[in-house]
Structure formats: C-alpha cells, structure tokens
C-alpha cells in the first residue's frame, strides 16, 4: 500500500485542490492519505476531513514541518511513501508513476520525484525571467528538490529518517541519494505555483539561501552542492545566448537574496519561515 503524507500548516485555501486531484484516480484500496495539520489556526483540518474517510487527518499543536513529517510517518500504513507539500497539485495517476520504479528493488532506485510544471503566465516579468534560467540549471533538472513531492522506498525512507531537522528538507533529502539512487520520473507531473511578484520571489530566495547554508553546515566537504556556479551560467549562455537578460535578472535575485540572508545565517536563525502567500492565491 502506498502512503501519502501531507504536512499542512494553515493551508485551508489550497489543500482541497491537492486532495481532489489525489482522490480522483487513486486506487481506493491501495492508497493511504494522511494529512498532518501542524499548528493550524485556520480550517485546514476541516477542509481535509470533508474529503471523506479516504483522508485521515492528524492534528498536532506544533507548527513544524519536520515534526509533522515524523507524525505522518507514525500514522502511515505502508510503502512506498510519498511526501507531498500541501500547496502543490499532483494526481493519483502521477503518484502511481512515481512509486513504480521503487517497487523494483533490483533497480537500486530509492527515491523519485515528478517533473515540475510551473505556470508563469500570471507572474511579473522578472519572476518569469528568473525561472527561465532556474529551470534550465543542471542541479535543478536532476535534483529531487523544489518539486514539493518526494517518494521513497522503505530503504530510502530509512536514509531520510536519519537526517536532522532542516529547513530545506527536500534539498537535504535529494542530496542524501546518489545520482544512481534517485530518479526524476518523466511520466509524472506536479504543478508547483511560483511566486507572483518580485518581492515574493526575493522572500522565497532568502529562505532558500538561509536553508542551503544550514544544509551545508551538515554536509561533508566531499558531498555534492546544489548551489549555482558561475560555470553553470556561462554554459547556459553559450548554449542559449538569448537568455542573457534573464541571466542578469537571475544573478540580481541571487545577490539580493544572499545579502538579505546574511543576518539570519550569522545568527543561526533557521526557524524563521518566509512564506510566499502569492503562490497560494487562486
């Protein structure tokens, strides 16, 4: 039985669309959905419970994604296990495509994630320019992070369960697996809502800069990094010179975010979550 764990903190506005997509074509007797409402002060639990008995709702008082994920593990019934952020949309058929490679132990695949679909039409032009570059970066294309969905086998779960509580849990989980152990599944899609405005993008990038610094503090020197290098951008421009204006926007966003993140990194403040509300607008 596949277990789907959804940590949700004040996600009443968006969790219904995710659950409807999951329930529409998930096998009723082979899918276990657990929504962990952590520290919610809105109607997240009620919205989730209204989807019927196929969705089990767990409420905990602590507003912590890490604690919510562990609580979800305590209530989940099976493997493969799929962790899904409440603000993305993925269908049951896509979950099935994600878990298929994990059923074959001989493949050596321990973790999978879907291809991203990022709707940019409603975003400011600088946000669109940023994502034109970001989506082309090798680490972004090949890594499991930034998708809001990670599926793991039982052995893969043991790997990520040993990780410390980190803000960038999806980045840490992606880096926990070697290239031969992880797979981005072409047949699976997830819709990830981007920030709508430049200030919202910068808030999200500040959070990314702070959380990446925290992950790096727990890494060994020989382990891979997900940071964008100058060589990555140069290679991108050589292949697509027309992207120069977008690369300039990308660099500007990175510089601004890193400068604004310095104070939090120096203070070791890895608990302040700069949430992007624009991506939760209907």
pLDDT score for 220: 63
pLDDT tens digits along 170-217: 898 999 999 999 999 999 999 999 999 999 999 999 989 998 888 888
Sign of CA dihedral 216, 222, 224, 230: positive
Average pLDDT, the chain: 92
The tokens of 177 are what? 């697996």
For the ranges 139-153, 200-214, 234-248, which has the lowest average pLDDT?
A: 200-214
The tokens of 228 are what? 């964008």
Distance CA 44, CA 91 (A): 20
Range of the domain at 126: 79-280
The answer to whether residue 50 scores a pLDDT higher than 70 is: yes
Q: Give the pLDDT mean for 92-112.
A: 93
Q: Give the pLDDT mean for 120-134.
A: 97
- Highest averaged pLDDT of the listed ranges 5-14, 160-169, 264-273: 5-14
Q: Is residue 172 part of a domain?
A: yes
Which residue would you say has higher pLDDT here, 177 or 277?
177
Quickly count: other Cβ atoms within 10 Å of residue 199's Cβ: 12
Distance CA 62, CA 66 (A): 10
Distance CA 113, CA 97 (A): 10
Q: Is residue 33 part of a domain?
A: no
Q: Is residue 143 part of a domain?
A: yes
pLDDT score for 274: 65
Phi and psi torsions of 211, nearest 5° = -70, -35
pLDDT tens digits along 254-264: 999 999 999 88
pLDDT band of 224, cuts 50, 70, 90: low
Q: Is residue 53 part of a domain?
A: no
Alpha helix (H) residue ranges in the chain: 15-24, 44-49, 65-75, 92-99, 125-134, 138-142, 154-161, 169-175, 198-217, 230-239, 244-266
What is the percentage of the chain residues whose pLDDT exceeds 70? 95
Say how many domains are in the chain: 1
pLDDT score for 249: 98
pLDDT score for 270: 73
The answer to whether residue 135 scores a pLDDT higher than 60 is: yes
* CA-derived radius of gyration, the chain: 18
The answer to whether residue 272 scores a pLDDT higher than 80 is: no
Distance CA 116, CA 7 (A): 20
Sign of CA dihedral 9, 12, 13, 18: positive
- Tokens 């879907």 map to which residue? 114
Q: Is residue 169 part of a domain?
A: yes
- pTM for the model stands at 0.93
Q: Is residue 27 part of a domain?
A: no
pLDDT score for 59: 98
Q: Give the pLDDT mean for 23-50.
A: 91
Q: Is residue 56 part of a domain?
A: no
pLDDT score for 2: 94
- Tokens 């430049």 map to which residue? 198
């Amino acid at each position: 039985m596949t277990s789907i764990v959804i940590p949700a903190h004040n996600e009443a506005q968006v969790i219904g669309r995710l659950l409807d997509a999951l329930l529409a074509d998930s096998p009723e007797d082979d899918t276990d959905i657990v929504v962990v409402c952590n520290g919610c002060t809105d109607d997240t639990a009620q919205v989730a419970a209204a989807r019927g008995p196929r969705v089990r709702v767990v409420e905990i008082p602590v507003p912590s994604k890490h604690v919510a994920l562990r609580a979800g593990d305590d209530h989940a019934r099976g493997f493969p296990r799929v962790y899904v952020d409440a603000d993305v949309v993925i269908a049951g058929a896509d979950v099935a495509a994600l878990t298929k490679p994990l059923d074959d132990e001989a493949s050596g695949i321990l973790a999978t994630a879907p291809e991203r679909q990022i709707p940019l039409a409603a975003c400011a032009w600088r946000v669109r320019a940023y994502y034109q570059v970001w989506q082309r970066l090798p680490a972004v294309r090949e890594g499991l992070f930034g998708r809001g969905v990670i599926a793991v086998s039982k052995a893969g779960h043991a790997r990520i369960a040993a990780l410390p509580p980190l803000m960038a849990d999806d980045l840490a989980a992606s880096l926990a697996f070697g290239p031969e152990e992880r797979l981005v599944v072409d047949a699976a899609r997830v819709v990830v809502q981007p920030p709508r405005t430049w200030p919202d993008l910068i808030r999200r990038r500040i959070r990314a800069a702070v959380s990446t610094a925290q992950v790096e503090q727990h890494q060994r020197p020989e382990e891979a990094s997900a940071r964008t290098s100058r060589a990555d951008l140069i290679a991108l421009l050589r292949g697509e010179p027309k992207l120069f204006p977008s690369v300039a926007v990308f660099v500007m966003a990175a510089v601004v975010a890193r400068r604004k993140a310095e104070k939090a990194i120096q203070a070791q403040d890895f608990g302040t979550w700069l949430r992007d509300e624009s991506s939760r607008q209907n």
